[in-house]
Amino acid sequence: MTWIFDKKLGIMFSMKKYKIATLGCRTNQYESQAFLDQLKKKGYEEARDGEKADLCIVNTCTVTESADKRSLYQIRKLAREYSPKRMVVTGCFAERSQKMLRALQEVTDIVPNSKKEELLPMIFPEEEWPEFQIERFEAHTRAFVKIQDGCNSYCSYCIIPFVRGRSRSKKVFEILREVEALVKNGYKEVVLTGINIGDFDGDGTPPVRLGDLVRQVDKIEGLERIRISSIDPDEVDDDLLDAVINGKKACPSMHIVLQSGSNLTLKRMRRKYTKQDFIDATERLLKADPRFTFTTDIIVGFPGESEEEFQETLALMREVRFAKVHMFPYSDRPKTRASRMPNKISPELIQERKAELLKVAEQNAFDLRNQFIGETFSVLLETPTMGHTENFLPVVVPDNNLCPNTLINVTCVDNNSEGLIGENQADAKIQTLFA
């Protein structure tokens, strides 16, 4: 706690300190930002290194065994470095491992996912707290907006339905209000995110489809870009395609979840689509806009995955040429069907397949970028020299006079392992003028 002297009032007052650690998905990142906004509005200040904190929050993840370990590490790290009066643990690992966490002397409070939005009022009931929503996204030029939580699918490998609960959606007016606040604070790009946004229904009767939400967000003045986070291929219906392709601000890029390119593996995973469904979804979007690109998630080493099934995944990757692949080595999660399946893949073979898949993913992404050399794009800068095109291609712009969160027109002149090399068209015009 820091004491500040107010010259005007002639009194000393305390400025409380906080520290937040976030692991895992974009939904967690959104929720941690909401905590941060609430704390700042109440006058809290982030604790510096070595400074004692009044409050630490660790927003945990349990999607893999590695995520469990990282969550525990962050709890102990924050306890050691900030000696907080209150150490609050929330998120999916906290939901699943409450007994273990209660045994840790560093932990003072455990808040389940279902109570996340009430976390601060629960910990400090004597104080009045602002609404749980975001107005900014610290250290990002792209803001995640949570539109949905929970999942009803119960895929055989996934623990998330057990720790996040049933699917539920945020009301449309709340989402629009949040996006408008972000735009007011200077954000040009938002990502509509959730645990399974294909389930979005607007929490009302009649339900509001995801495509309808995209159209309403598209009307917000000052917003430049809308991205859709993580959707299954069977949920890319004609209505959503229409909203994205015909919207003024919806980006021609989408994260469509694959997990495996083998129908046999997909069946064991209890995914509700086939390889052909995935191909059909990407082909329909590419037909509507040839610049459309895709990112995806893939699990390597799922129980029973044969060499032939793994090769099917590599073949599909080469066919689609993803701009980016998020690769996850299979990890047993308690209570899931997959954890009880026979024919587990050895850790050594998983590592071999992981290395091969990442090599193919890197080459595919490079080849995809190559086809856009010579084309001009709008790039939203995330650093002074790097940003992404509207179709999510990374672009390096070797110009030291640029600012993050600036939209510039760039012609792609080369390609390397980091991304496309872009020439700022504003600079090109100046050079032409004085040539």
Q: Kindly state whether residues 161 and 111 are assigned to the same domain.
A: no
Query: Pairing between strand 109-111 and 86-91?
Result: parallel
pLDDT in tens, 132-191: 999 988 878 899 999 999 999 999 999 999 999 999 999 999 999 999 999 999 999 999
Helix (H) or strand (E) segment spanning residue 413: strand 407-415
The span from the CA of 323 to the CA of 335, in Å, is 34
**Residue 119 shares a structural domain with residue 137:** no
Question: For the chain, how many structural domains are there in total?
Answer: 4
Same domain flag for 244 and 280: no
Final residue in a domain of this structure, among 57, 91, 123: 123
Q: How far apart are CA 169 and CA 224, in angstroms?
A: 24
Checking if the pLDDT of 431 tops 60, the result is no
Instruction: Report DSSP letters for 95-125, one per residue.
Output: HH-HHHHHT-TT--EEE-GGGGGGHHHHH-T
Q: Give burial (CB, 10 Å; 0-12/13-18/19+) of 20.
A: buried
CATH number, domain at 402? 2.40.50
* Per-residue pLDDT reduced to its tens digit, 98-122: 999 999 999 999 999 999 999 999 9
- Is the pLDDT score of 410 beyond 90? yes
Is position 128 within any domain?
A: no
Residues 170 and 186 in one domain: yes
Count of residues making up the chain? 435
Q: Are residues 99 and 137 in the same domain?
A: no
Q: Is the pLDDT of residue 426 over 80?
A: no
Tell me which of 231, 252, 273 is where a domain ends.
Answer: 252
Q: Is the peptide bond before 384 cis (omega within 30 degrees of 0)?
A: no
The count of other CB atoms within 10 Å of the CB of residue 303 is 20
CA of 110: how far to CAs of 100, 116, 423, in Å?
11, 10, 51
Helix (H, G, I), strand (E, B) or coil at 234: helix
Residue range(s) defining the domain that contains residue 190: 133-252
- Count Cβ atoms below 10 Å from residue 135 Cβ, excluding itself: 18
pLDDT at 12: 40
Classify 247 as helix, strand or coil: coil
Inter-axis angle of helices 238-246 and 275-288, nearest 10: 30
Which pLDDT does position 210 carry in this prediction? 97
Nearest to 217 by CA among 197, 200, 195, 192: 192
pTM: 0.91
The model's confidence at residue 400, banded by pLDDT at 50, 70 and 90, is: low
Position 14 scores a pLDDT of 58
Of 358, 389, 353, the C-alpha closest to 373 is 389
319/384 same-domain check: no
Angle at CA of residue 120, ends 115 and 121, nearest 5°:
85
Q: How far apart are CA 330 and CA 338, in angstroms?
A: 10
283 domain-assigned: yes
The secondary structure of the chain in percent helix, strand, coil, rounded to multiples of 5, reads: 40, 25, 35
- Domain annotation covers residue 148: yes
Residues 262 and 353 in one domain: yes
Domain C-terminal end among 68, 93, 123: 123
Query: Residue 374 above 70 pLDDT?
Result: yes
